[in-house]
Structure 1
Amino acid sequence: MRIDHGQHDWPWCKCEIITKWANNSWRFKMENAFESAIFNSEKDETLTWFLKQKYRLSSLHPDMSDSMINMKILRKCGGELEHVIKCRCVEPCSTED
């Protein structure tokens, strides 16, 4: 990219990356990857799995708040893990969201 366009600042590079990669097929692929990812404590390392889901959601919805991202990821955990975390949340959480 630098060979073709020369030195540019980060906002210009970010815009070019978004233009090249943020198309409908990429968005579809990211949404499917997020929807199909279910946390499995035996198979997945917790931090790696969580960060991967966070990056997927952040790239799809850059204006989404951190608390909303966390709640969407928490729904992917399900079962006892979701219940335990919601019991310890400071903010009131609804299981029907």
Structure 2
Amino acid sequence: MEFIRGIDMIKEDFELPDRLVTAIFNTLFNRSAHRWYIKLRQAHGHQSWTWWKTQIIKKWANDYWRCKVEKAFESAKFNSDKDKDLPWLCQQKDRLTAFYPDMSEFMIHRTILRQF
């Protein structure tokens, strides 16, 4: 997942300890992710980044989640009257990258353009 790769890179680049990395979760997560985080944090206390990484993967990197994102991608049709082009394109690109992380930029753009 892109989120996990990003945290891993920041942790490595700045040589951050786990406590500092996991301390930002309370402000980083919002809505249902924040409720999920608070529930786990209260139940398990302070945990390492490795532990949190495992929990995030269990929660969001599963077949149900992938299917949900894929359906959202397929059902999102660009409407020039209501959609702004760049935010719509970025959201579609994020969705494709989420369930096909190894897809090339060329294939991402080609797949999105086929929706028009």
Within the candidate set 43, 48, 66, 2:105 is matched to 66
- List per-residue Cα deviations over 1:33-91 (Å, max 9, x = no partner): 111111111110111101110110001011111111111011112xxxxxxxxxxxxxx
3-state DSSP class of the match of 1:76? Answer: coil
Identity, in percent, stands at 50
Structure 1 runs (4+) deviating above 3 angstroms are 1-9, 11-16
3-state DSSP class of the match of 2:114? Answer: helix
CA 1:5–1:54: 2 relative to 1, 3 Å:
farther
What TM-score comes out, normalization by structure 2 length?
0.55
1:50 paired with 2:89, answer yes
RMSD of the alignment, in Å?
2.1
Question: Matched residue pairs, number?
Answer: 76
Of Structure 1 and Structure 2, the greater helix share is in 2
Aligned runs of 1:1-97 on 2, under 5 Å? 1=37, 3=41, 4=44, 6=46, 8-9=48-49, 13-77=52-116
3-state DSSP class of the match of 2:115? Answer: helix
What TM-score comes out, normalization by structure 1 length?
0.64
Give 2:90's aligned amino acid: L
CA 1:57–1:14: 2 relative to 1, 3 Å:
farther
